[in-house]
Chain A
């Protein structure tokens, strides 16, 4: 499933997810945001694989990845990635 999430302020997060047994099997996150360090982004995506497809679990995984990878983002916050993933999982690509 695919979803676009417009962050208040203008940036766009675009998510593609494959879900199976209520868990994220594959995920791709793209967009026009700023995320530092840039080279940690694949690990950030990786951190969501195998995570249960509910908001609490995703928030925890995103926050943990931010902390572990020392992420600083501009134009988007960790909660925006959570919202983008949740919106995609709920199948509301145009919301």
Chain B
């Protein structure tokens, strides 16, 4: 039997708000049945991305963001704040509801939809393991976090993978859990978080990581990924969401 074909998009914008607007447009169109199940790879230039229930004021150091030119943005899924530069790769999965891969249980869904990234990291020779609720660890250190949602007729999951991000900026732009303990924050980030470059011990290109991730996803989900493009409808919806939601202060800083 031929393998089920999904679309894969390599699609990113310089503007983090546009990246997040398209991140919502795609699962909406997948749910409507207008486009096939889709994987998207993308990166941000220099942004903090907070979860939809987080307080920007409490989680983000506004002053550090201002001086480092870091944009503060909010995604439509829950979970925690992340710092994203070009050394961080995002992958997003949109699957129409009712697909064979999706179990009833939400925790199990996180695990299954993280398995493509786990497989891809293993293909890079890393000892990658899923860590509930939605992380991937290498020897006890976090290398990837994920969030997800079930809405618009779609099961949606996205994760970010640290390839060679500047972890010192991460601890500057995200507020320390215990305020006043900045040094400790830097040290604790270094101890609990790792990157692909540090783990494989050499410089590694984003393209190499994408290729392995693509293979890992195909293997774990038993599908074939076919290079595709964003449709006109998705682009228009993305632009609309950019205007009405993702570029607005009320969405990004209103909580």
Contacts and interface: CB of A to CB of B under 8 A. Distances in A.
Interface of A: 9, 12, 14, 28-38, 41, 72, 74-75
Contacts of B51: 32
B78 A14 contact: no
Given A32-B78, A34-B106, 8 more contacts: A28-B255, A30-B53, A30-B58, A32-B51, A33-B79, A34-B148, A35-B78, A38-B77
Interface string B118-154: 0000000000000001000000000000011111000
A32 B79 contact: yes
A47 B80 CA distance: 24
A30 B60 CA distance: 13
A36 B53 contact: no
A52 B151 CA distance: 34
Contact of A33 (B53, B55, B106, B151): B53
Contacts of A41: 53
A32 B80 contact: yes
B52 interface: yes
B61 interface: no
A81 to B, nearest CB: 12
Interface of B is mostly: loop
Interface centre among A12, A35, A37, A75 (most CB of B within 10 A): A75
Interface in B16-64: 51-55, 58
Given A32-B81, A72-B106, A74-B107, A38 B55 contact: no
27 contacts: A9-B133, A12-B177, A14-B55, A28-B255, A29-B53, A30-B53, A30-B54, A30-B255, A31-B54, A32-B51, A32-B53, A32-B54, A32-B80, A32-B81, A34-B77, A34-B79, A34-B106, A35-B53, A37-B151, A38-B52, A38-B53, A38-B77, A38-B151, A41-B53, A74-B110, A74-B133, A75-B133
B251 interface: no
Contacts of B80: 32
Contacts of B147: 34
Contacts of B58: 14, 30
Contacts of B54: 30-32
Contacts of A36: 106, 149-150
Contacts of A14: 55, 58
A28 B58 CA distance: 12
A31 B53 CA distance: 6
B255 A38 contact: no
Contacts of B53: 29-33, 35, 38, 41
Given A28-B255, A74-B133, A75-B133, A34 B55 contact: no
Contacts of A28: 55, 255
A29 B55 CA distance: 9
